[in-house]
Structure 1
Amino acid sequence: MTQVTVEQLFIYPVKSCAGIELTEAELTPEGLSWDRSWMIIMPNGKFVTQRQMPQMAKIRIDFSEQALILGYEGEIFTVDLNPPVSDPITATIWKDECQVLDEGPAVGEWLTRVLDSKQPLRLVCMQGDFVRPQSAPERFGADTHTQFADAAPYLLTNTASLDSLNQQLSKEGKDSVDIRHFRPNIVVSGLEAFAEQESKQLVHADYTLTLCDPSSRCIMTTVNPDTGVKHPEMVPFKTLTDLNAMPDNERVPAFGMNTICSTGEAIIRVGDKLQIS
């Protein structure tokens, strides 16, 4: 039986900003603890990502015991981890309307300035008792919910798939990419390239990861995670499309699997061994 190993773990506390690599993390029904717990929005309440503002990749995230820490080119801004005392407002992520709390004008002004936004930005978190509607119950189950993730609670990727992509990029004389271009939560090894798309479950003694469907990728894969600049030749989007297109759309690349955790809360660790079932 094929054995799969957890190689890396990432969370992205502020949607579309830089991630934090961890050696262990808490699995929850909504994703890894603290993953996509905050989101940046426009005045109309619509969410903002690297699709519109690729320089968001340069906002580094950290935590202290009491604060979320945002960093941009040497500047630091801290946000209290306690939920703000304010009336909820409505924010929209894709087709979902969420009740959120504004983290205040100061952090909004800071984000607007460092990102050189033409419109004022706001940082929001989910209102404590609000449960985001499940817009795709046929894919992830009616009882599966997320904070501000695009789709499933987890994104799982495979090191062999990245190796295959980089080998093809090398043949084409193009820049290689690292796993951060794909913003996964869980990175595994032990599967052949793109074999994750044929796998159903990865089972550990403490938890089970159910791989639901391939993740369609967008222009964000072309953003350099260090510089916040889109690649002028759309690397790796075009090559990945030719190498591994979505099963139902040959013009859109697939990389990684939308994943849910179908058991109760547990701790996932780098080095965990999983079995395919």
Structure 2
Amino acid sequence: MPTTLASIHRFPLKSARGEELDRAVVEPWGLAGDRRWMLVDPEGSALTARELHALLLLEPDLTATGLRVRAPGRPPLEVATPDPAQQVPVRLWHSELTAAAAGRGSDDWFSDVLGRPVRLVHLDDPTRRPTSPDFGESDDRVSLADGYPLLVATEASLAALNDVVLERSQGAHAPLPMTRFRPNVVVSGTEPWVEDDWRRVRIGDAVFRAVKGCARCVITTLDPDTATGGKEPIASLARIRRWDGATWFGVNLVPDLLGGEPVTIRAGDEVEVLEQVPAGGGPIRPVR
């Protein structure tokens, strides 16, 4: 079975629902349009589904002029891409940068939907945010993803995890969908967990560095259709994928684009591992 790109996923608004694409443009900081919008609290700190589970129920779409967002039982919100001159300070994990404020109308809509004061911001210039120097290069950049431009997962690893979930529950727990893990690219035609060993991989015409495994958080325990919580997949990952006090699923990628020029990838593209390390070490924690 050939190794191919099974699906592509973009998340226009951080922590909200994603969309599956037939093709996507890879930019130095991630997929075009991926996680360029974000909600922050009144002090400018990022808000995610970790603390606001209802974010998972919001359905964002990019439009020609900005962003459209749907919420259960609400009329949709249309937001124009804000003026880049209207910058406000924001904080996302260890990153402190600025983003463009979307304005009072969108802030009020989101605050009403989520039941607390929030502001909507747009990252007009992703070159403002470097990746962690512990795992990336000095000129690596990322949009508003947690840490790195893209996340890859494999269908085989999800199937192996679901075998453990079903065994633990004695068949009572439904198989977990890939949407629990919010990857940008999903690869088919591999053995389970081989992505741990990747260091450079080509997807279509785009080449990526695999820089760090992805330690999983409480968001994966939330049903993406209802935002209700449970114990899986963390409980099963803790049995088979626990290292350094964390549980791991998926690998973070950084594009290595020739001259920084964007490249289009398409579902069905060939995936080729260009460099890997011997198997058995677990996920990348760091690579150097």
**TM-score w.r.t. length of structure 2:** 0.88
**What does residue range 68-87 of structure 1 map to in structure 2 within 5 Å?**
68-75=67-74, 76-81=76-81, 83-84=82-83, 87=86
Provide structure 1 residue ranges, at least 5 long, that are not aligned to the other structure: none
Corresponding position of 1:151: 147
Distance across 1 between alignment mates of 2:41 and 2:66: 23
Mapped contact 1:57–1:228 kept (Cα < 8 A) = yes
Pick closer, same or farther for the CA change 1:127–1:8 going to 2, 3 Å. Answer: closer
Match of 1:62 in 2: 61
Percent identical residues: 27
Root mean square deviation of aligned Cα: 1.6
Aligned to 1:166: 162
Matches within 5 A, 1:96-107: 96-107=95-106
Distance in structure 1 (CA, Å) of the matches to 2:270 and 2:129: 33
Partners of 2:56 and 2:202 in 1: CA distance:
33
Distance 1:127 1:270, change over 3 A: closer
1:270 aligns with 2:264: no
Give yes or no for contact 1:99–1:127 (8 Å, CA) kept in 2: no
Matched, 1:255 2:249: yes
CA distances 1:126-148 after superposition (whole Å, capped 9, x unpaired): 244x7334252241211111111
Contact 2:131/2:141 (8 A) holds in 1: no
1:19-46 deviations in whole A, cap 9, x for unaligned? 0110100000010000000110001110
* Cα distance in 2 for residues equivalent to 1:147 and 1:276: 25
Q: Does 1:22 align with 2:16?
A: no
| Secondary structure of 2:163's aligned partner | helix
Distance 1:253 1:205 in 2: 30
| 8 Å CA contact 1:3, 1:276 repeated in 2 | no
Asked whether the equivalents of residues 211 and 251 of structure 2 are also in contact (C-alpha less than 8 Å), the reply is yes
Amino acid at match of 1:26: V
Distance 1:205 1:127 in 2: 27
What is the deviation of 1:84?
2.7
Does the Cα contact within 8 Å between 2:60 and 2:69 map onto a contact in 1? yes
1:98 CA drift (Å): 1.2
2:206 maps to: 207
User: How far, CA to CA, are the matches of 1:121 and 1:110 in structure 2?
Assistant: 9
Equivalent residues in 2 for 1:239-250, closer than 5 Å: 239-246=236-243, 249=244
